[in-house]
Amino acid sequence: MRMSSRKYKVLIVISLMIISMNIVALTQGVHYFNQSRNLDGKSSAPQAVESPNILADNPIPSPYQEEEQDIPNLNEWNITINATRSIKIRDFGIVTVNDTLVLRNNDNTSLPIFRFALPNNWADNLLTISAKTMWMNSTFPMNRTGVFEEYKNEHYTFYKINLNPVVSNSSAYKINIFHSMMYFYDLFKTQVVQEISGQQVQIPVNGIKFNCSRIPLIPSPIYKCFTSATVGDDGGFIPNMIQPANATAEESAVSYKAVYNITAFNGTRLYEPDSVDDPYRIRVVAFLKVEPPLEAPLYKRTIILENWYWARVHEELTIRNLGIIPDNPQWDPQDPISFVTALHKFYIGVDNAEDVSVSDALGEILADESQNEQLVQKNRINIYLRTPIYGGEELTFSIDYLLKLEDILEFEKTEFVLKTKAMPTTEFVVREFQLKIVFPQGANYQYFYMADTKMTVEESKTPVFLKLGTRDTIALTTHNLSYFSPIHMRVGYYMSDIAYYLAPLTFALVIFIACLLYIGARTLRKDVIEKSIITPEEEVEVPIALIQKFVELYEEKTALQTRISDLDENRRRKKIKKIEYETQRKILEQKMREVISELNKTKRELKTKGQKYTDVIQKIEVNEEKRLIVEQNIKELRINYIREKRISKDAYLKILRDYQNQIKRFERDIDKELINLRLLIEHESN
């Protein structure tokens, strides 16, 4: 009986221990959940401040049932605020707003947070929003701090800033709120006067118009607010359309009169930016010319990391002009007005790119050095359009370049870290960005951070050369990026030691196989000669010297044709002066006449040596004549497309590709005959 009693006591103690452990575990789990919830960008205020109006952890109520007390406010603190609002319309159409607030906390309650609101037509078109804070007279730089969406109703979106440091006394404190926005404004066609060749000329431009509030929407009184607007280097303001009329407008800047004693914003009134009854409403009207509103519907980037020295980058960028369509959208290089509203160049920001190549559907695009154009600069790649594009038109470019691994790759403890821009910087909005990174063979991918945010990527494998293994590959798709977006990335991966030797071993194996193939080809060369079109006849002497002379003269003629074509192209692009051009062309033409005369004489002599030589010469002449006919057809096609606009772009590209393929086929047939002649010479010489 005692043993049974002890047994029950032991069981009871064990049961109590298990229950206690479960309670502790449950408590820790709840604590961990609360900590995790505070990291998702919608956390509540610090515990030192008890504010019943913070709704980050509560469901957002329906805008049709809201009451004034539901809207976030700053009623618990006695704050004095002076505000400065700076609006800028940048080249290519992005709008930025910079609000600088200087506040004082007039009571003894610490202020750990700050709140403000944006109208939803701004909030829904945000590209980036950020904030910096610091004491006004501090020698330290301002601290970056988080900006979190806290509440949203039918007209406004409220945001919260965690102040760093906390406002603990009445000293002046500075808050800087910066946000950039996409194309929320109205575009319209207008004209401005510009001096061209000493004359005042009306030129068409891209008009930009929007109404907004001249004051930041802050749930606390503002003593004074000063507002100004500026425009990028490519544009200006239209003074007679700016409201209110008492604003001071200059060529590229507008200043609005300061307003005083502004009551706290409570978010209950309707947002009506077009209403003239709003005392804080302003109208901004500006224009842009050759850097119109622009976007990239799609930007694809592939980064291939090699084991040594280089990262190879391939990009495909599609751009679209969002500006107006002029009345007569015809590009005339002699008429500067014809492309004022069109886009004819832009750049992407890439540091220290080498071996850069830019191309479109018609081939590689080169910079015109006579116009002081540079394709590559230290921190950018300039892209020049063959012909400008007008509103609604778009083009796709391919960009290839190399980056030194020593500039973008670091070794930290036991891993490699790729530190560079995920996307090159652009002055326009990229609607969809697709990034693909192919790691070196033997690498094991670990993580991907964009700024301070860990990104979720799609992992896959890429086969290597000759399918001798695979390489880790990741892919990421994101949207609405711009110059102001946090686009710096940190990508970590481990590397196997044997991978450093795999690439050179593979290369050595390829060289070894190539040597074997060469030896085999030399051994079988005699058989190849016997099966070629021209075979040495038995007991007939082969005219080696005559064949050698024919091949050399024909190749010299081809080289002269190439030099003349290059000279004509340089003259067309004005890379060479007229006198020098004419002198060089006369020399080349004289040399061409001499070569052709000697070549014709050699042809006649070679034809007398046998029918097989006559057949070869006839095949070369037929293919050469066909090539000349196709080249003439290409010239007529370009005239029909570029000058006369008789065919569509898609039809032009398809026909052009067909013609180019025909030329390649004719040149291959000519090369085949010349190679057979050279093989015959080499065989007979041995």
How do beta strands 394-404 and 458-463 pair?
unpaired
Residue 516 or residue 174, greater confidence: 174
Residues 161-190, mean pLDDT to the nearest whole number: 92
pLDDT at residue number 341:
78
Do the Cβ atoms of 229 and 241 come closer than 8 Å? Answer: no
Residue 639 or residue 339, greater confidence: 639
DSSP per-residue string spanning 279-315:
TTEEEEEEEESSS-SEEEEEEEEEEEE-SSSEEEEEE
pLDDT at residue number 414:
83
DSSP per-residue string spanning 573-593:
TT-S-HHHHHHHHHHHHHHHH
pLDDT at residue number 159:
95
Peptide bond preceding 244: is omega within 30 degrees of 0, i.e. cis? yes
pLDDT at residue number 550:
84
Q: For residues 603 and 56, what is the distance between their CA atoms, to the nearest angstrom? A: 90
Confidence of residue 373 (pLDDT cuts 50, 70, 90): confident
Q: For residue 46, is pLDDT > 50?
A: no
Residue 465 or residue 580, greater confidence: 580
DSSP per-residue string spanning 245-279:
TTSEE-SSEEEEEEEEEEPPP-S-S---TT-TT-T
Highest-confidence range of 44-48, 469-473, 677-681, by mean pLDDT? 469-473
pLDDT at residue number 43:
33
Highest-confidence range of 89-98, 230-239, 376-385, by mean pLDDT? 89-98
How many angstroms separate the Cα of 317 from the Cα of each of 360, 386, 649? 10, 16, 18
50-71 pLDDT tens trace: 232 322 333 333 333 344 456 8
Q: What is the percent of the chain where pLDDT is above 90?
A: 37
Q: For residue 314, is pLDDT > 90?
A: yes
Q: Is the pTM of this model over 0.95?
A: no
Confidence of residue 17 (pLDDT cuts 50, 70, 90): low
216-252 pLDDT tens trace: 999 999 999 999 999 988 889 998 899 998 899 888 8
Q: For residue 35, is pLDDT > 50?
A: no
Q: For residue 89, is pLDDT > 90?
A: yes
Q: For residues 398 and 375, what is the distance between their CA atoms, to the nearest angstrom? A: 14
pLDDT at residue number 321:
93
Confidence of residue 299 (pLDDT cuts 50, 70, 90): very high
679 φ/ψ angles, rounded to the nearest 5 degrees = -60, -40
Gyration radius of the chain's alpha carbons: 36
How do beta strands 294-305 and 199-213 pair?
unpaired
Q: For residue 3, is pLDDT > 60?
A: no
Among the listed residues 375, 395, 399, 405, the one whose alpha carbon sits nearest the alpha carbon of residue 314 = 399
Domains of the chain: 68-284 (2.60.40), 294-500 (2.60.40.1730), 530-685 (no CATH)
Residues 651-664, mean pLDDT to the nearest whole number: 85
661 φ/ψ angles, rounded to the nearest 5 degrees = -65, -40
Q: For residues 280 and 285, what is the distance between their CA atoms, to the nearest angstrom? A: 16
201 has which bridge partners? Answer: 194
Confidence of residue 685 (pLDDT cuts 50, 70, 90): confident
133-157 pLDDT tens trace: 999 989 999 999 989 999 998 889 9
Residues 599-615, mean pLDDT to the nearest whole number: 85
pLDDT at residue number 237:
93
pLDDT at residue number 337:
65
Confidence of residue 466 (pLDDT cuts 50, 70, 90): low
Do the Cβ atoms of 108 and 78 come closer than 8 Å? Answer: no
DSSP per-residue string spanning 367-381:
--GGGT--SEETTEE
Query: Which range (23-32, 201-210, 337-346) has the least confidence?
Result: 23-32
Residues 250-264, mean pLDDT to the nearest whole number: 92
353 burial type by CB count under 10 A (0-12 exposed, 13-18 middle, 19+ buried): buried
Q: For residues 647 and 658, what is the distance between their CA atoms, to the nearest angstrom? A: 16
How many other C-beta atoms can be found within 10 angstroms of the C-beta atom of residue 606?
19
pLDDT at residue number 469:
74
510-566 pLDDT tens trace: 788 888 888 877 666 655 554 444 444 444 577 888 888 888 888 888 888 888 888
pLDDT at residue number 526:
52
Do the Cβ atoms of 613 and 681 come closer than 8 Å? Answer: no
Mean residue pLDDT of the chain comes to: 81
Query: Which range (328-342, 580-594, 644-658, 671-685) has the least confidence?
Result: 328-342
pLDDT at residue number 26:
35
Residue 363, sorted as left (phi over 0), alpha (psi -120 to 50) or beta, turns out to be left
